[in-house]
Amino acid sequence: MSEAKIERKIDRSHMTVTDEVAIQITAMNKWFGTFHVLRDINLTVNRGERIVIAGPSGSGKSTLIRCINRLEEHQSGQIIVDGTELTSDLKNIDKVRSEVGMVFQHFNLFPHLTILENLTLAPIWVRKVPKKEADEVAMYYLEKVKIPEQALKYPGQLSGGQQQRVAIARSLCMKPRIMLFDEPTSALDPEMIKEVLDTMIELAEEGMTMICVTHEMGFAQAVANRVIFMDQGQIVEQNEPYEFFNNPQSERTKLFLSQILGH
């Protein structure tokens, strides 16, 4: 378990949680075959919230956020994202997906396209943005993640950290209202974790609604307004970060925290 130190000062002026509901999950259950992977999940995320989901592997945390943009289908309960309920209706699914950005553990950049093409593909084909405008937006976000000079290279020529920043920029080009991060730093070398976390912190500073599955507890303490601990497909405990780390309530949480922070 790596733990990058967050040394920079965080600007909290835009990090405000509003009353507006961004994601509403009610009594949601999911099975993989006969395996009950998510059990009675209830979760409300307000706009502007920065939520970190932690838990041992196999606890269902990735599956949970993958249900939010329906990469995984839930079998019962309700998920409402930005006022749109996720059902088998493909139109709604595509609508939610174009509003919700997702960053994956293994980046999942398109290796046959240049960095710039990776960034402009969805705006051009989904949002119907003219190519010139899409290029400008893409360059803006590449500047933001500090790799504009790589625009014409292919993903295979970039380091892992650079690829993950490109992946974040690719999601941002769709101007999403919610960002999901599925273990964004787990596949990175230690020296690259920091550059990706910095990018995520900047995003949080701008007031993005974020849900991050991560093992970076430093990031959770610095940025999150809520930490959710999951085990065996259930939400076991959730609290604001200071309380969560210093005063965990459930035995399961205490054990988990002692394991990941205890050395």
Partner 1 sequence: MAEHRTAAFVRTEMLPEKAPPVSEVGIIRWLRENLFSGPLNTVLTFMGLFIIYFMIKEYSPWLRHSVWNAASVGECRDIVTAKYGEGATGACWAIIRDRWNMFMFGFYPRELYWRPTLALGLLIFAAAPVLFSESRMIRMWVLGVVSVFLMVAFPGLGVPNGDTALLAVLLVAMLAAAWARPWALLWLTAIYPGLAVWMLWGGSVWGPTLAMAGFVIGWAAWLATRRLGTILSVGAAVLVPVLWWLFGIAPVQAFLDAGLPFAIEGVRSEKFGGFVLALTIGVAGIALSLPMGVVLALARRSDMLLVKALAVGFIEFIRGVPLISLLFVASLLLNYFLPPGTNFDIILRVIIMVTMFAAAYIAEVVRGGLAALPRGQYEAADSLGLDYWKAQRLIILPQALKISIPGIVSTFIGLFKDTTLVVFVGLLDPLKGITDSVRASFEWKGAYWEPYIFVGCIFFIFNFSMSRYSMYLERRLHRDHE
CA distance 250 to 252: 5
CA distance 126 to 28: 29
User: Any idea what DSSP says for residue 80?
Assistant: E
Q: Which stretch binds partner 1 (CB under 8 A): 76-84, 105-113, 143-151, 248-256?
A: 105-113
The mark string for 136-155 relative to partner 1 (x by CB under 8 A, - otherwise) is ------------------x-
Task: Tell me: does residue 196 bind partner 1 (CB under 8 A).
Answer: no
Task: Tell me: does residue 174 bind partner 1 (CB under 8 A).
Answer: yes
- Pick 179 or 235: Cβ nearer partner 1: 179
Which amino acid appears at position 260 of this protein? I
- Pick 51 or 115: Cβ nearer partner 1: 115
Which amino acid appears at position 240 of this protein? E
Residues forming a β-bridge with 45: 23
Task: Tell me: does residue 221 bind partner 1 (CB under 8 A).
Answer: no
Task: Write phi, then psi, for 31 (nearest 5 degrees).
Answer: -120, 145
Measured from the CB of residue 88, what is the shortest distance to partner 1 in angstroms? 11
Measured from the CB of residue 239, what is the shortest distance to partner 1 in angstroms? 29
CA distance 181 to 102: 6
- Pick 65 or 236: Cβ nearer partner 1: 65
The answer to whether 20 and 46 have CB atoms below 8 angstroms apart is: yes
CA distance 167 to 118: 8
- Pick 39 or 106: Cβ nearer partner 1: 106
Residues that bind partner 1 (CB under 8 A): 69, 71, 90, 94-95, 97-98, 100-102, 104, 106-112, 121-122, 125-126, 154, 156-157, 170-171, 174
